[in-house]
Structure 1
């Protein structure tokens, strides 16, 4: 069995399918998962302090432990603050600077989990929709705080951001903070993203684009695990299916990059050595 990693999906053990979705992934040949916490509001938590983020983080740790039991490999948690939170906080009456500080506090708590070895990496980013200049500036400061934490911890940072392909400036910010730019991961990437490491949504056309570039990359579904949006964004079986398709197309070297070499480069994880 060869490793097959989904670099970014959500598993909701409270309202969603939870470990059942991990079992579906494994049934179709998947071996390893990086599970991102869902935003706190999905668990009916209106955050007011850093510790309020622990509810979402702890649910994620629980479902990761259960998922590891059903996978041929294992799952790892990636914890942090969804960038859309800034808009919710502003709507609740926070000014952008206070929203920034609360989101940074949430990242500080996530960093505790990484430092303790209970989480693999951090997540941050900035809104993928139009916002005011003040909110945009605050969001960039939150993201740069995540880079400072990633540098201190020696861990990767996954980014949720706008649909651009040129994130060179963002990767430069990470380097200025002391991170290696390849340890910054652009989640929901197209095949042409430059600057960070692209985590490419498992679309055939975009996968072909990134394969032809001969760069480090990973594959993801961004599965939401929301009963009101079944199958969104892509279902858990998609990365195993796209992996089989790429193998049939003769892209064995690219699959080694996606599922073995890039995860080792970015996260320091061994997808071969952790196979049962």
Structure 2
């Protein structure tokens, strides 16, 4: 593999409370990785239970993520940036705790407001939002969509991208249209955990061989990710930190040099305004 090829993992978690934290970035770098986008874990993974869903809990979650991202950046030949937001699964926890879907929506939108402060003032470069990837009732689904649309509005105001955690599938044209209605171009909407090309947003492709080859064989922009969870109970979940560098090497050996450049240089610049080269 060429030493000149930057390697970005577009969606990875580092848990400074329960997991390996920045040490996982060392493993990524040792395998050839250069740049990371670090997503905050759900607040219930990082803060005391009573703080989950509170402004203080959101802020502590984001501060912890920014701190571990800064520590990770010092272990890389390139850089690392935080992506902050509210996990869509929080709505179910809030409803189970007695909140109405509307109340849960409002709590999550306030959390996104706080995340947007970290984007506007630095150091975060994008927001995280979405909707449940599991079955919910109509009221929760509608409230979740309203949370996501609020993220688009905030991103349009701050000029940043949004990473989406959603159900599976490959047609998110309507979601991209919602973003455009909120003043956010669809090329700044990223579908996390994509299984290949998608309609509407930019896919962040989970880096198993079939998915990345499917994306690399096409002509559309994409990025690559592991969704590494940094969970001590599941040390390799979803994929380990070495995976994206290994898949890049595999793609280069298979002749996909242009696709690698697209995924690790052109698309990150287009979506986030970051330089990896």
Band of TM-score, shorter chain: over 0.9
Partner of 1:221: 226
Pick aligned residue for 2:28 from 6, 25, 30: 25
Indicate conservation of the 8 Å contact 1:126/1:136, yes or no. yes
Q: 1:226-248: per-residue Cα shift (whole Å, max 9, x none)?
A: 00111000000000000000000
Unaligned ranges ≥5, structure 1: none
Number of equivalent positions: 272
Deviation at 1:54, TM superposition (A): 1.1
Indicate conservation of the 8 Å contact 1:51/1:106, yes or no. no
Partner of 2:6: 3
CA distance in 1, matches of 2:100, 2:235: 35
Pick aligned residue for 1:211 from 210, 213, 216: 216
Deviation at 1:82, TM superposition (A): 0.1
Which secondary structure does the structure 2 equivalent of 1:213 belong to? Answer: coil
Q: Within the alignment, does 1:152 sit opposite 2:157 as a pair?
A: yes
Indicate conservation of the 8 Å contact 1:50/1:108, yes or no. no
Pick aligned residue for 2:67 from 62, 69, 73: 62
Q: Within the alignment, does 1:169 sit opposite 2:174 as a pair?
A: yes
Deviation at 1:118, TM superposition (A): 1.5
Deviation at 1:47, TM superposition (A): 2.3
Q: Within the alignment, does 1:233 sit opposite 2:238 as a pair?
A: yes
Indicate conservation of the 8 Å contact 2:69/2:82, yes or no. yes
Unaligned ranges ≥5, structure 2: none
RMSD: 0.8
| TM-score, scaled relative to structure 1 | 0.97
Which secondary structure does the structure 1 equivalent of 2:217 belong to? Answer: helix
Which secondary structure does the structure 1 equivalent of 2:240 belong to? Answer: coil
Which secondary structure does the structure 1 equivalent of 2:74 belong to? Answer: helix
Partner of 1:39: 42
Matches within 5 A, 1:107-126: 107-126=112-131
Partner of 2:133: 128
Deviation at 1:269, TM superposition (A): 0.2
| TM-score, scaled relative to structure 2 | 0.97
